[in-house]
Amino acid sequence: MMIFYLHDSYEKPNLRRDVMVVNLLDGASIVLSVVVAHISEAYAGCFNMIILCTSSYVMVSALLMGTAYLLFYLGFIFYHYETPIGSSPLASIHRVFIAAIWKLNFKFPESAENYYWKDEKPTGLYSRREGTQLHLLPHVPSLFRFLDKGSIIREESDLSQEEQEKNGELCTVKEVREVKHIFPAVYLGLTFLAYSLVAACGDTYFLLQESNLNKKIGKFTLPVSFLFVFKSFVRDVVTLIFWSFRLTQQRITILRIGAGLFCAVLCCITAWQDELHRLGLIKKEGVLENPDKTLSLGIWVLIPQYFLIGLMEGLAENGLEKFYHNQASKSLQNFGMSFSVMVLGFGNFLSIPCVLIFGSWFKETINTSQLDRYNLMEGYSEEQELGDNIKSLKAIKEALRDQFDPIELVLSWI
């Protein structure tokens, strides 16, 4: 609802400014959520972080959140406290990258003994490339093969292997492989850029489309908040269906993501047609001369858009989180939700340069803008992205069926 507040707060309306502010705030909140997740995992612990965040909310809404705070504390006696492990998924990834960067000038070893296996057995966990060079599995793009060097033992060092590990100079093979295993999810996340732009529209442009629409359905007046409730209901129903029927296999998750991206294309097409119709009525019924006039078109016309947004969120977003969870090692699985949220956060930041690039389409208000063109551009971008995504998903599905290395197959399609 922030978009309405900004739109009504300034004496002179400016659609571009309002949209950029909303997306910047949404993007910043997403980044902060990832930071909070990192602090919770590495230092504070989940329980302490919940107390801290809840305390902050109490300051904002003392009565309502104070009651929730009290109920939360009543469950304290049933809580089993776990000491923070001193590391988080982000810290583990950072550790591997730093250790590898310090050894960029090292050559890849020719013997498995030059890698720091610690308590792990090296059988079947590496392959040879370029003759004698030994690389750790799974395979990643050549740009990131240097990560293997993070676990190369520095023979000339005066420190023991355990001391090198403690100082962050050396990682175990297990740690390196865990980081490399999330690359399929990262590549899949890159195909969500256009999708994240569509998702960002749900809180900005799509909401503003209700301007001048007839909100009465019979004797009832339909509030704008109904669209959010309806979207959330559809998303939760889709999620519940997949959870209830235990549809968590990787092949089904892959199809789920593809279906969600297809819904994003349909959402853009629907929004484009609705906006064409709405802009036509605005000119025909004289709304430009009388901005407070109500159109003959009802708000129900926006329901298909929000139905499709709910579908695509339930299918694609939750599917991406599940895909990450299935792909990542146990130590990195807690980062699944943060990873999914971070991917979608790119859409909020990416929409800002899009508004500037296509600035001629955006005027002072939604009624004088050409949002139909923007929706059409998004639909085309999403359709192109869907094609790339299907190739990646097909490669992963092939890998699961034939039990080959999924990363190697995905990269062959990119």
Query: Tens digit of pLDDT for each residue in 147-160?
Result: 999 999 988 888 88
Mean pLDDT of all residues in 374-386: 86
Which residues, including other chains, have CB under 8 Å from residue 353's CB and lie 6 or more apart? none
| The predicted structure's pLDDT at residue 344 | 80
**Which tens digit of pLDDT belongs to each residue from 251-310?**
788 888 889 989 999 999 999 999 999 999 999 999 888 888 989 888 889 999 999 999
As to burial, measured by CB atoms within 10 angstroms (0-12 exposed, 13-18 middle, 19+ buried), residue 290 is exposed
Between CA 216 and CA 22 the distance in angstroms is: 28
Per-residue pLDDT, 311: 95
**What's the pLDDT score for residue 303?**
92
* Tens-digit pLDDT profile for residues 318-347: 888 888 888 888 777 777 788 888 888 877
Highest-confidence segment of 87-101, 211-225, 298-312: 298-312
Per the model's pLDDT, the better-predicted residue between 253 and 249 turns out to be 253
Q: Is 55 left (phi over 0), alpha (psi -120 to 50) or beta?
A: alpha
Which pLDDT score, from 0 to 100, does residue 270 have?
Answer: 94
Instruction: State the amino acid at position 3 in one-letter form.
Output: I
Estimate to the nearest angstrom the gap between the alpha carbon of 150 and the chain centroid: 28
SS3 352: helix
Angle at 49 between CA 46 and CA 52, to 5 degrees: 155
> According to the model, what pLDDT value does residue 158 have?
82
Question: Quick one: how far is CA 67 from the chain centroid?
Answer: 32
Q: What is the pLDDT of residue 246?
A: 73
Six-digit token string for 159: 């420190």
Contacts of 130 (CB under 8 A, 6+ apart): none
What residues have CB less than 8 Å from 316, skipping those under 6 apart? 192, 195, 256, 257, 259, 260, 261, 263, 264
Q: Is residue 38 within 8 Å of residue 90, measured between CB atoms? A: yes
Instruction: Check residue 85 and give its pLDDT.
Output: 53
Q: Which domains can be identified in the chain, with CATH numbers?
A: 2-29+182-413 (1.20.1250.20), 34-78 (no CATH), 89-176 (no CATH)
Amino acid code (one letter) for 193: L
Beta strand pairing call for 216-217 and 133-136:
unpaired
**Residue-level pLDDT at 7:** 65
173-189: buried (b, 16+ CB within 10 Å) or exposed (e) per residue? bbbbbbbbbbbbbebbb
Where residue 313 falls among pLDDT bands split at 50, 70, 90? very high
Lowest mean pLDDT among 56-60, 71-75, 95-99: 56-60
Residue-level pLDDT at 414: 39
Q: What is the CA radius of gyration of the chain?
A: 25
**CA–CA gap between residue 40 and residue 42 (Å, rounded):** 6
**Distance, CA of 210 to CA of 302 (rounded, Å):** 8
Rounded-to-integer distance, Cα 163 and Cα 181, Å: 26
DSSP state of 302: G
Torsion-angle region of 363 (φ positive above 0: left; ψ -120 to 50: alpha; else: beta): beta
| Mean pLDDT in residue range 165-194 | 86
Least confident of 80-94, 280-294, 394-408: 394-408
Over residues 344-366, the pLDDT tens digits come to: 887 788 888 888 888 889 888 88
92 in helix, strand or coil?
A: helix
Q: Is 175 left (phi over 0), alpha (psi -120 to 50) or beta?
A: alpha
Both structure tokens of 243: 């959870």
Closest among 190, 146, 386, 109 to 269, alpha carbons compared: 386
Is residue 372 within 8 Å of 229, Cβ to Cβ?
no
Minimum mean pLDDT range among 95-99, 105-109, 208-212, 328-332: 328-332
* Among the listed residues 208, 209, 187, 200, the one whose alpha carbon sits nearest the alpha carbon of residue 354: 200
Average pLDDT of the residues of the chain: 80
- DSSP label at residue 369: S
Q: What is the Cα–Cα distance from 368 to 282, expressed in whole angstroms?
A: 9
The 8-class DSSP code of residue 106 comes to S
Average pLDDT over residues 38-43: 68
C-alpha 165/C-alpha 175 separation (Å) is: 11
Which pLDDT value is given to residue 58? 56
Question: Residue 126's beta-bridge partner residues?
Answer: 136
- Residue pair 287/218 in contact (Cβ under 8 Å)? The answer is no
Q: How much of the chain, in percent, has pLDDT values that exceed 90?
A: 18
CA distance 273 to 44: 49
Give me the pLDDT at residue 233, please. 94
Nearest Cα neighbor of 344 from 371, 312, 373 is: 312
146 or 246: whose pLDDT is higher? Answer: 146
**∠ Cα 174 178 182 (to 5°):** 165
Q: Specify the pLDDT at position 395.
A: 60
